[in-house]
Structure 1
Amino acid sequence: AGCVPYKNMWLVTKLLSNERYHYVELHHKSNIGDKLWQVGEKIQECKLLEISYEKKLPVQETVMRVVRPVAIIFSEYYFYLIAFIVEKNDEQKYELKYDYPAVFRIDRITNLTTLNEKFQSTDASRFEEGEFRKRVQFMFPGKLVKIQFNYTGKSIEAILDRLPTAQIVSQQESTYRVEAEVYGKGILMWLLSQGDSIEVLRPLSMLNEMKDMLLQMIDKYRE
């Protein structure tokens, strides 16, 4: 038995046909099925992977990384490998290079090799996909930081929905002071998209980075 009543199937078929007609294929045109399967297996087996990855920013280059794969996530049109980058210490044992996960678009992984070395399953179980999604914007990774900003826009509910970790710490007339815990660089892109509705307060490093980015944007429009 299907999930859709028979009398409504024509409507569902019509809606799906419309979506299929307007569908635009992604530019990379890569068949990533085998990669998804291989990466998924290594996550379950808790095995290290060595990957060749095509970076686009700040310059286009291919880099090699050894990683502990912990999850596959679909977001913003793409499949991503979430993994912790590792490197060998003085005793030639792999250890975490950073205490936060890296994000790799799977279609940009040009080669992957399984290493004959496993990592503790507790490392994988410690990663919580739902908590990661709450704190990442546009799948841009980075350090976990606490930010504080003033919001004077029309819908504070939209802000709280976009940033699930956000909390209103105070309100003065139509100005809300909000705190949130977020990962890395993606939050800067989102903050800039809010125009003059948002004023970043903390941390100071992010405030200064916002100022620099805004000045660079203004310079592009000077005559």
Structure 2
Amino acid sequence: MVLATSHILLGSRALKQDELSDTLTFLSSGLPPAMQAELHQQLTIPRGSYVPLSTPKPLLKQLREMTMYIANNQKLVFMYHSSAPGQDYPIKHRAQPVAITFQTHYFYVVMLSEQHGGYWLYRLDRVVKILEAKKGDKLDYAERFSLQDYHHQTYLEDNGTLTRIQFIYRNYKGTALDALPDAHVLKEYADGSLLIEAYVKVGGAMFWLMSQGPGLKVVSPPSLVKRIRDELTAARDQYLE
């Protein structure tokens, strides 16, 4: 279990070198000395090959503090540095954190945001400074953000409207079902291709749909077919000059 967790941590690239070392040491500390030595040997190459993110920031203390804000139902006023185009400086936000999740290198904090008028995902490493923490609301569980729905409907980015889509898929079936957990096969054709249906946040799903190249063809809804056609045409046109 420690070996598996260590490899997952190394593959995440999420922590700074010192935090990574401290965490790996903590994970192995409960093992007998002989197993610790064996684990150290098994992780020598993966540990030496670790490549942190381009601008890693200390996260462990921040992760702990945010977890306590959630446990105590507190609202926050904080400075947040968005990745939106043209926003080169931190902006003040007001929101109540309700859950933490990890996906593709980053920790995200789900917050009930005043700025966005509902639940929004904030990247933990982009929370620059907490200005104020005060008593928040004890949110009804049935009305809280569902991490399960999020993981089923979102690929990489929580963006776009929930849409039922269908596409013909010619690559390995498991790749599609893993990337879009809500997906299911409607039909299998004689040539081995599949008609797959999924219920997704379109903005994020676009990243995966377009990454499949000629192995995937969206067939519905028509608005998504047009959107992908336009994106691919614009990409192709850059190479015609």
Q: 2:136 aligns with which of 108, 112, 118?
A: 118
SS of residue paired to 1:28: coil
Displacement of 1:134 after TM fit? 2.4
More displaced stretch, 117-126 vs 169-178: 117-126
Per-residue displacement from partner, 1:185-222 (whole Å, max 9, x unpaired)?
22111111100111112333322221221122112211
SS at match of 1:23: coil
> Which residue is 2:39 aligned to?
12
Q: What do you get for the CA RMSD once the two structures are aligned?
A: 2.7
Question: Could you tell me how far apart the structure 2 residues matched to 1:40 and 1:15 are?
Answer: 32
By how many angstroms is 1:123 displaced? 5.0
Aligned positions of 1:54-73 closer than 5 A:
54-61=81-88, 62-73=90-101
After superposition, residues 211-222 of structure 1 pair within 5 angstroms as 211-222=229-240
2:74 pairs with one of 40, 47, 56: 47
When the two structures are superposed, what TM-score results if normalisation uses the length of structure 2?
Answer: 0.76
**1:75·1:139 contact (CA, 8 Å) conserved in 2?**
no
TM-aligned CA deviation for residue 105 of structure 1: 1.4
Relative to its length, the structure with more strand (as a share) is 1
Name structure 2 gaps, 5 residues minimum: 1-27
Aligned twin of 1:97: 117
1:139-218 equivalences in 2 (<5 Å): 139-153=157-171, 155-173=172-190, 174-218=192-236
Matched, 1:107 2:125: yes
Distance verdict in 2 for CA 1:219–1:75, change over 3 Å: same
How many residue pairs align between the two structures?
Answer: 212
Return the match for 2:112 from 62, 70, 84: 84
Counterpart CA distance in 2 for 1:11 and 1:222 is 56
Q: Structure 2 CA distance, aligned partners of 1:184 and 1:67?
A: 25
Name which of structure 1's ranges 5-14 and 30-39 shifts more when overlaid on structure 2. 5-14
- Residues 21-77 of structure 1, C-alpha deviation per residue, up to 9 Å, x if partnerless? 111122223112332222211211222222322122333333333223121112211
The residue matched to 1:138 in structure 2 has which SS? Answer: coil
Quote the Cα distance in structure 2 between the aligned partners of 1:125 and 1:33. 29
Counterparts of 2:153 and 2:226 in 1: how far apart (Å)? 21
Percent sequence identity over aligned pairs: 25
8 Å CA contact 2:80–2:91 kept in 1: the answer is yes
- Take 1:3 and 1:44, find their aligned partners in 2: how far apart are those partners? 27
In the alignment, the residues of structure 1 paired with residue 141 and residue 92 of structure 2 have an alpha-carbon distance, to the nearest angstrom, of 22
1:93 paired residue number: none
Higher relative contact order (CA 8 A, sep 6+): 1
CA contact (8 A) 2:76 2:134 kept: no
Which 10-residue stretch deviates more, 18-27 or 46-55?
Answer: 46-55
**Comparing both structures, which one devotes a greater share of its residues to helix?**
2
Task: Report if the CA contact (8 A) 1:47-1:114 is conserved.
Answer: no
